[in-house]
Structure 1
Amino acid sequence: MKEFVISEVKAETAVLVGLITDGQNEAKTKEYLDELEFLADTAGAVTVRRFTQKVNGPSAVTYVGKGKLEEIKQYIEDCAENEEPIGMVIFDDELSAKQIRNIENELKVKILDRTSLILDIFAMRAQTANAKTQVELAQYRYMLPRLQRLWTHLERQGGGSGSGGGKGSVGLRGPGETQLEMDRRIILQRITLLKQRLLEIDKQKTTQRKNRGRLIRVSLVGYTNVGKSTIMNLLSKSEVFAENKLFATLDTTVRKVVIENLPFLLADTVGFIRKLPTDLVDSFKSTLDEVREADLLLHVVDLSHPDFEEQIQVVERTLADLGCNEKPSMIVFNKIDNYRWTEKDEDDLTPETRENITLEDLKKTWMARLDESCMFISAKEKLNVEAFRETLYKKVRELHVQKYPYNDFLYPEVE
């Protein structure tokens, strides 16, 4: 009898590439590449090497300089000789069609940029028809300006009779350009169809929101992987999918929550990220309508992240782009159980930094600035959760009284 041996499938290996520039120092580049590695891990790839280059700005031709590209090429060839082939090279910024084409011609492996990697993760995570449609639309929008590189092998066949064979000469188009035009037309038609489909889904969701009754709407917003879904599960006593991966939540989940005698609606939304592709923000507008229509925003922050303050700024900029920066909001610092700091010596006169400020001092700093619009919790370990519930109850009740002055469950009739 023949035996079948199940061999272990190796994860695809990846090399990361980033730039150190005047506007992005070495420490910042490291943080960005750390996040890019987390993105690669979420997509199922294993990072084996990082390359950085100090330049004034990215090369319009190959992103990095010729010498650095040659160094990356040599590394890939060495890995191939050692039977440890590199599956892909991922660049930390969005690449143009020209850059991708030139880099692929040189490195002979799959080339991804930060945007295409995020799109891949969104495609993996999409579960519902709404999310799948939004991701597909973003993918086509990303693909459209990069179509030309797919048909470079046919361009050499073009020309026709006469000289030049330019685009303006009727009958002189080569087969590559004809195929390109066909692809553009197909993709544009598909984009139009997907937009119509999203409009229909948006109408359905608008109707659903109107039927939710006279309840205050609260939306969880924040950077990706800060624990929004864990907080949703904690408050609503439901089982929303949550894991230590980027973009674990794509579809908006809405649950009815009751604290004391006060019911309200709580929505968990897709997380934001640095350099979030514009096409994704545009495509996910119907999902982000929960944020636009919210009465209160709970901005969740991962306090244990070394760069949490920049993440706050990223979220605030995205909310401003959505026109939601003036809404009532509350910052919820999560994961206080993971907060780490180094104690300063008494004689150390250097300024306080993220690395040496205690949790208590950090609380005082933010509480002084935001008063009760700021909470410190650990949703996972259930630390300070009751105080969080009480503060949230006060805020929702205040908004409810303003929006719905007369309500039976807030003002029961005295018999």
Structure 2
Amino acid sequence: MAKNIQAIRGMNDYLPADTAIWQRIEGTLKQVLASYGFSEIRLPIVEQTPLFSRAIGEVTDVVEKEMYTFEDRNGESLTLRPEGTAGCVRAGIEHGLLYNQEQRLWYMGPMFRYERPQKGRYRQFHQMGAEVFGLQGPDIDAELIMMTARWWKALGIADHVQLELNSIGSLEARANYRDALVAFLEKHKEVLDEDCKRRMYTNPLRVLDSKNPDVQQLLNDAPTLGDFLDEDSRAHFSGLCALLDDAGIKYSINQRLVRGLDYYNRTVFEWVTSALGSQGTVCAGGRYDGLVEQLGGRATPAVGFAMGMERMVLLVQAVNPEFEPTRIVDVYVIASGQGVQSAAMQLAEKLRDADPQLKLMTNFGGGNFKKQFARADKWGARIALVLGEDEVATGQVVIKDLRTGDQQTLAQSEAAATLRTLLQ
């Protein structure tokens, strides 16, 4: 017997029972995006490797250890995308979307990172991201955060996420802070683990993210990035905080929040939760005013964020069990008797014509009424339409509400209007 081929570790199948809640969550998110004027952009999952090494940074964990990179048959280095912003910027430059224009773009799809798989962290994962180009004030930063807050309300998780903010300033301010941080860490090398010692000279701001409790204790005495901010960045951050205060959005300022990608400047933010254990970040982003120019375009201010869909699904399931997944079937057509199947199929087609949004399934494979009602329950249908020989002969149909057990017999010509009322 041939050996079964399994899915690759950390790359998951999502079965119909899973995708139903994914679809409901995605629909909610897309509805909010549309209400803020965002348009969808669809991007390749494979890009030239230099796109990510230039955008994300050569000495980041993503580029050094986590990317799926390979050589194609022409000897070109290609990479499965580990995140979406770089590809979105590349597309904007390539297709002339960014020059002297405001753009609001969103995307969704699979990303790939070679990490140790665990709950909420996978090698293939899905992100929904939103990017705004051409606006540089703190007002657009605030509106993006306000939009995410609207998401959380719509998903019923607003009480289970907290907003953390920081400003990492300009490139010059970060360089000055980096020098001060390295000087401090060099005096306390004995406290640092090997990973922090390596990062101290390659990407010292990543030491601030260390999970080592001894390092975290040491950092309480370290210089803070806020002390090195330039005046423009201070004013930008103050403006952002004032706008969020006016909007009633609660936040905490986390001076160790720097994000793991090199392209950020000024505003960075994360929405975090304690409901998912160690995988606490569910949405994160910030401003990246230099990235478009860095990738070959004209200098263009930009800000955006991305959200991990797997973690969002886990969070909704954990804290809002009443959030119903998208129903696969609204109406199940039950048919029994000589020549009834054809009539049932014709009725189903007429109902689909009358209401293209109706999710309707016709029973196939025969079976008595009891078995067919069991199938209707299995598919989660709310309504059963029952046709037998008598109903076909008289042009009628039985409509049964599977939640209440109420049923009525009426003319088939009235079925569409009745279903519309029952399913409201």
TM-score by length of 1: 0.31
- Structure with the higher fraction of residues in strand conformation: 2
Question: Which of structures 1 and 2 has the larger relative contact order (alpha carbons within 8 angstroms, sep 6+)?
Answer: 2
